[in-house]
Amino acid sequence: MKEGPRMTDEIVEKYFSAGRILSQVRSEAKDRIKVGASMLEVAEFVENRAVELGADGSAFPCNLSRNDEAAHATPLPGDETLFGEDVVKLDLGVHVDGYIADSAITVDLTGRYGDLVKASEAGLDAAIDTVKNGVTTAEIGAAIEDAITSYGFKPIGNLTGHGVARYIPHAPPSVPNRRIGGGSVLHTGDVIAIEPFATDGAGKVFDGSLTEIFQVIRSKPVRLPAVRQLLKDLEPYRTLPFARRWLKGDKIEYSLLQLEKAGIIHSFPVLKEAAGGMVSQTEHTLIVTEDGCHITTK
């Protein structure tokens, strides 16, 4: 692979190492997503198994979004929810020394949404076939939209893929799932995660009422002891998102609220399809090359 600026052989290997670990965890986790299985147990398996296989940690909490939920759903502390006949999006990320692998698959437990799953998979395949040095994100978005609509579904227009940087799961550029004007030019060595979402609904999402995932976005002094303690406990995550169920101690809810009010953390509400449509998602992380790309999470 011809390397881009600041992309050394050591960094490339860390991206691929994270991708290999993720691929194994994704495969093992997929087999655990069954009707009657515990969502919390699957999420904890994903997060713990990555470390067992050599990752330095999760790049973000395991997302298990169901049916009209598109993203950002993760179990609550002590969650007793079981999978039913759901369309389940498994979105997982791992990191090695901060270098991230991000991937998603959809598991149809209903047996009725095979074409919807194929639509997001086809969108990803079309995007990967388009990627190379000099291509614009607008061209990728058009390829995704054409592939999804060929199955009779809509891409979710206000969700995008994204760049990936060290300890930053969502970095520029945005990679649209539909046609746009302009777009950003991709260059050899860029690391991006492409994640088409397909739906039989309206083709857009809104913020739901539930929030279980947060991220530290800036450093600021805080006065209250409980809030200070939580901020200290969050230091190991750096700028990586974390789940409320990962946190221990007193006054967690209150402290999270205070940190959000102070602009120190950002929350990620569960994203729901605007018309209540079913949603599928497929995602890979890849490194752009002169004439194509290398998929790190295959």
CB contact set of 21 (below 8 Å; sequence gap of 6+): 50, 53, 54, 55, 94, 96, 101
Q: Is 291 flagged in the annotation as binding?
A: no
- SS3 call for 125: helix
Q: How far apart are CA 106 and CA 85, in angstroms?
A: 13
Q: How buried is 260 (Cβ within 10 angstroms: 0-12 exposed, 13-18 middle, 19+ buried)?
A: middle
Asked about 162 being catalytic, the answer comes back as yes
**Residue 5's pLDDT is what?**
46
**Residue 56's pLDDT is what?**
98
CATH class in words for 209-270: mainly alpha
Asked about 85 being catalytic, the answer comes back as no
* CA distances (Å), origin 17, targets 2, 12, 207: 18, 9, 34
Q: Is 72 flagged in the annotation as binding?
A: yes
Q: Is 283 flagged in the annotation as binding?
A: yes
* Residue among 91, 108, 212, 273 flagged as catalytic: 91
Asked about 91 being catalytic, the answer comes back as yes
**Domain ranges across the chain:** 9-208+276-295, 209-270
**Residue 143's pLDDT is what?**
98
Residue 249 phi/psi, 5° resolution? Answer: 120, -175
CATH superfamily of 9-208+276-295: Creatinase/methionine aminopeptidase superfamily (3.90.230.10)
**Residue 2's pLDDT is what?**
40
* CA distances (Å), origin 277, targets 113, 147, 154, 158, 207: 12, 19, 10, 15, 15
| Per-residue model confidence as pLDDT tens digits over 191-225 | 999 999 999 999 999 999 999 999 999 999 999 99
Check if 9-208+276-295 and 209-270 are the same fold. no
> Percentage of residues in the chain with pLDDT exceeding 90?
97
**Residue 6's pLDDT is what?**
72
Q: Is 162 flagged in the annotation as binding?
A: yes
* Residue among 68, 121, 139, 162 flagged as catalytic: 162
- What are the residue ranges in the chain where pLDDT is below 50? 1-5
**Residue 7's pLDDT is what?**
87
The sheet with strand 205-216 has its strands ordered as 69-71, 265-273, 205-216, 242-243
| 8-state DSSP, 95 | E
**Residue 3's pLDDT is what?**
41
Q: How many CB atoms lie within 10 A of CB 5?
A: 8
Q: How many CB atoms lie within 10 A of CB 51?
A: 14
